[in-house]
């Protein structure tokens, strides 16, 4: 019996061992497999972040190189971008609102600065005076037997009527402002603004439907060797981008705002504009900027790890310069003779692989306008460029 028992135990032990081993074996790779994505996770956003930045740079390389490559088509004419003015269209340490450059912005900031703030100050002062007066006049030492008064019709009418009048005084200009904000004049230009994790892309359906991809420019120490980095001519740190959204001055520009992934927010403080970019929804806002210049904003909806690194830069130029800029992007002005061939097919074929891998132009040089259509041709491009979103491009808005 004992031998049989030992035999059974031994058998069980032998039988258990492979089971245990089998149990262990798949278990071991499992944590490794889990560890792998974990290990890759921090690298993921970095790589994803690097790619969008790298793409326009690669396109720029292509443009720069195609200008010198024998037999290659001449590069698109470069556009001389303006340098921003300190204190205009950017935070500069001042208290209060930024200077406004749209009619709605001026109306809103005047309403805030001259009316709401004044009203708030007057009301706070009134309450403070009443409090001090009560505390001094009716203090215990000066007034040992307190009054038993419980009703006073005149005082009750005053404290009901005055707040009502204050609310009316706020509501009338407020509703007028909302009416001006949400009844835009007919648009001279429509731009589709698309939020992406974590950059912006802009489409110009009125100008041939070309698209530009706008990434934040890294600091000199952070940018990879040979790639473009921020200079003061681009704008302040964390606000400068490689491709600015360009619009004409004095024209009504309608922004159709949407998103490719999560909720972003298209915000430009100097234009009094902040509009959520929701996936699957087209929101609308508009601006009419009188003064040419460079204005900066940021994504204003917490949208993920690199939310803080997707600034918005809008360059407002004269209508003549806007037409020049559109030409550098391969677009057309409404009413102008349409281009002979779609820009994306021709431009893409003109970019040779050698041109794509050519070194970057001198850092800090004036931004060279890359033909947008070349973007999809860049190797390793994960940015949804024109080719990747061809069905969207011709969308009539």
**Shortest spacing between CB 191 and Cu ion, in angstroms:** 18
The residues, ordered by sequence, that sit 6+ positions from 109 with a Cβ below 8 Å of its Cβ are 97, 100, 272
The residues, ordered by sequence, that sit 6+ positions from 277 with a Cβ below 8 Å of its Cβ are 193, 194, 195, 257, 258, 259, 263, 264, 265, 266, 283, 301
Cα of 363 vs its chain's centroid, Å: 25
**Shortest spacing between CB 195 and Cu ion, in angstroms:** 5
**Shortest spacing between CB 211 and Cu ion, in angstroms:** 18
Residue with tokens 């309608």: 254
**What is the token pair recorded at 54?**
């790298």
Alpha carbons 189 and 203: distance in angstroms, whole number: 11
Start-to-end C-alpha separation, the chain: 89
**Shortest spacing between CB 50 and Cu ion, in angstroms:** 18
Alpha carbons 68 and 56: distance in angstroms, whole number: 19
**Shortest spacing between CB 262 and Cu ion, in angstroms:** 7
> Virtual CA dihedral for 364, 370, 376, 382, nearest 10 degrees?
30
Alpha carbons 351 and 73: distance in angstroms, whole number: 9
**Shortest spacing between CB 261 and Cu ion, in angstroms:** 9
Residue closer to Cu ion by CB (options 195, 209) is 195
Nearest to 336 by CA among 324, 351, 344: 324
Residue 64, helix vs strand vs coil = helix
Residue closer to Cu ion by CB (options 218, 264) is 264
Residue closer to Cu ion by CB (options 187, 303) is 303
**Shortest spacing between CB 263 and Cu ion, in angstroms:** 8
**Shortest spacing between CB 60 and Cu ion, in angstroms:** 24
Residue closer to Cu ion by CB (options 170, 262) is 262
Residue closer to Cu ion by CB (options 90, 303) is 303
Residue closer to Cu ion by CB (options 299, 374) is 299
**Shortest spacing between CB 125 and Cu ion, in angstroms:** 41
**What is the token pair recorded at 268?**
């430009």
Residue closer to Cu ion by CB (options 60, 201) is 201
Residue closer to Cu ion by CB (options 58, 299) is 299
Residue closer to Cu ion by CB (options 264, 321) is 264
Residue 370, helix vs strand vs coil = coil
Residue 152 Cα distances to 156, 162, 299, angstroms: 6, 16, 53
Q: Which residues bind Cu ion (CB under 5 A)?
A: 264, 299, 303
Alpha carbons 167 and 22: distance in angstroms, whole number: 75
Contact 214, 313 (CB under 8 A): yes
Alpha carbons 236 and 230: distance in angstroms, whole number: 8
């Amino acid at each position: 019996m004992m031998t049989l028992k030992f035999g059974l135990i031994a058998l069980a032990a032998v039988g258990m061992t492979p089971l245990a081993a089998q149990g262990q074996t798949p278990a071991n790779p499992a944590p490794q497999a889990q560890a792998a994505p974990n290990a890759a996770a921090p690298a993921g956003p970095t790589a994803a972040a690097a790619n969008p930045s790298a793409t326009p740079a690669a396109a720029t390389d292509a443009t720069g190189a195609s200008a010198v490559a024998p037999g290659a088509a001449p590069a698109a004419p470069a556009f001389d971008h303006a340098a921003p003015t300190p204190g205009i269209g950017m935070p500069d340490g001042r208290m209060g609102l930024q200077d406004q450059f749209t009619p709605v912005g001026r109306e809103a900031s005047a309403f805030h600065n001259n009316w709401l703030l004044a009203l708030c100050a007057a009301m706070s002062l009134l309450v403070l005076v009443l409090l001090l007066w009560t505390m001094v006049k009716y203090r215990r030492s000066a007034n040992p037997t307190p009054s038993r008064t419980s009703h006073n019709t005149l005082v009750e009418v005053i404290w009901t009527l005055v707040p009502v009048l204050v609310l009316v005084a706020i509501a009338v200009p407020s509703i007028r402002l909302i009416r001006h904000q949400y009844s835009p004049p007919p648009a001279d230009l429509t731009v589709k603004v698309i939020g992406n994790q974590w950059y912006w892309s802009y489409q110009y359906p009125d100008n041939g439907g070309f698209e530009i991809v706008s990434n934040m420019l890294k600091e000199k120490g952070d940018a990879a060797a040979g790639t473009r980095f921020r200079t003061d001519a681009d704008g302040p740190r964390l606000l400068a981008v490689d491709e600015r959204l360009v619009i004409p001055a004095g024209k009504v520009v309608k922004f159709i705002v949407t998103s490719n992934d999560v909720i972003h927010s298209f915000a430009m403080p100097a234009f009094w504009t902040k509009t959520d970019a929701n996936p699957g929804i087209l929101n609308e806002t508009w601006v009419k900027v009188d003064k040419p210049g460079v204005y900066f904003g940021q994504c204003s909806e917490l949208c993920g790890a690199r939310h803080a690194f997707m600034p918005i830069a809008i360059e407002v130029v004269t209508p003549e310069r806007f037409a020049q800029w559109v030409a550098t992007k391969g677009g057309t002005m409404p009413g102008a003779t349409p281009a002979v061939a779609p820009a994306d097919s021709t431009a893409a074929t003109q970019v040779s692989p050698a041109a794509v891998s050519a070194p970057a132009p001198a850092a800090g040089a004036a931004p060279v306008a890359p033909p947008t259509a070349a973007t999809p041709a860049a190797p390793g491009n994960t940015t949804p460029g024109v080719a990747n979103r061809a069905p969207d491009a011709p969308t009539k808005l």
